[in-house]
Amino acid sequence: MKACLICIVLAAGPVSARAESVPEKSADTGVPLADIKRFSQVFQAVRDNYVDAMTDRQIMQAGLRGLLLDIDPHSSYLDAEQARHFDDLSDGGYAGIGIESDERDPSRIRVVAPFDGTPAQRAGLRAGDYITAINGRPVDNDDDRASPDRLRGKPGSRVVLTVERPGIAAPFELSIVRETIALQSVKARWLEPGYAYFRISAFQGDTGLEFRRQWQALQESAGEAATRGVLVDLRSNPGGLINAAVEVADEFLSDVPIVSTRGRNALSDTRYFAKPGERFAGVPVVLLIDAGSASASEILAGAMQDNKRATIVGSRSFGKGSVQNVFRLDNGDAFKLTTALYYTPGGRSIQAEGIVPDKLLRGTGRAKPTEMDLPKHIKAGSDTGTEAEPGVVLTGDAYIDQALSVLKQVNARTTESRPKAAGFAIDSVTLFLSN
């Protein structure tokens, strides 16, 4: 890559707090002394008068959580245990049910997406579901909220979830047996002779390497058979690390921009490029997305779409176009802070807009809440939303069959357009189908 690779999640080193005398005036630093005094007054009132006794640490953590909660939907405070869980998710291994979740709402846990092959997926938990109780205890139970890993537990232990699903009137229960979750972010197989299928469920630290390993295995199984097309399935992929998305994009692109990030701090301004040469030169590509495709998934889809390297099919994506850095604190706690927005090679910000497919596939499910539906979401551009249909979650193999049909059509048109002269090679061809 022409630019060094960084993660969506960056460790900024320990950020330590230190007690020092505060000057009467703070013009140089801009510290709002009057507001700090008011915070101190509120702190003292909570400590002395709240109905339940709270430690100074509990009050301070509540204040820090509230500070980040009020900024945007993706900035958040993580205590030490939550920070370790976050690292486990990025590394792809932990013990639990196997979901990407949003726990910002104290009354319920929103399922961003279940991971492929996990107990949660097998039990029928879906993207957009809400967990309102765990083992009969409401999610907002004060005693349980003290534990950030309520859904995790020993392998073999059972947890019963009370679930609310949009479009279904009454809540229902799901009984799930926890397992050791060793996430394999990439799986691959031949759909038909010559047509390769890659399922990418998340973008982890080893996703790029695993993609290459899976492709090598496919090639060994195919022998001398030519590759006629590649289908990449990004449905309900909640994202992950930006460098993993860049690595995968680089397999399909050659010497072109992939993504850029822009923020207030100059260190947040980064451009990523594909290196010269590509693994799938001349092979038509289709990407399958839906309303659960977010963040790093949208980076890959946007790069392929703007560089006219793939036909994007499916449903409008989630629209998370922001970058979070993780800052580590000296006590093991951490906080995620939105520091930049990312932009596709064509200069588009998909924040609160999403990626609109070149070819829409009709879904039977209800529209899934998107970035624009989240309170305090960051506005980009007009923030009025596109005129495209709202995205829906596309589940089941029927959509793979539809995407394969589109891929075959693209391949047929590509074959027809190839020059007949011997020795002439085409580096990359993509033909878009009209909606």
Model pLDDT for residues 213-266, shown as the tens digit of each residue:
999 999 999 887 899 999 999 999 999 899 999 999 999 999 999 999 999 988
Query: Does residue 146 surpass a pLDDT of 70?
Result: no
Beta strands in 269-384 (DSSP E): 270-273, 285-289, 311-314, 322-329, 334-343, 359-360
pTM of the complete model: 0.73
Query: Does residue 5 surpass a pLDDT of 70?
Result: no
Model pLDDT for residues 367-417, shown as the tens digit of each residue:
667 888 888 889 875 444 455 678 898 988 999 999 999 999 999 988 776
Model confidence at 15, in pLDDT bands (50, 70, 90)? very low
Model pLDDT for residues 116-131, shown as the tens digit of each residue:
889 999 999 998 899 9
The residues of the chain that CATH labels 2.30.42.10 are 96-182
Model confidence at 304, in pLDDT bands (50, 70, 90)? very high
Going by CATH, does the domain composed of 96-182 fall within 2.30.42.10?
yes
pLDDT score for 424: 27
pLDDT over 70, % of the chain = 83
- 413: closest CA among 434, 435, 431? 431
Residues with catalytic function: 295, 306, 320
Coil, helix or strand at residue 62: helix
Cα(414)–Cα(430) distance, integer angstroms: 7
pLDDT over 90, % of the chain = 59
pLDDT score for 91: 65
pLDDT score for 18: 28
Classify domain 186-324+342-417 at the CATH superfamily level: 2-enoyl-CoA Hydratase; Chain A, domain 1 (3.90.226.10)
User: Token pair of 194, please?
Assistant: 């010559």
The residues of the chain that CATH labels 3.90.226.10 are 186-324+342-417
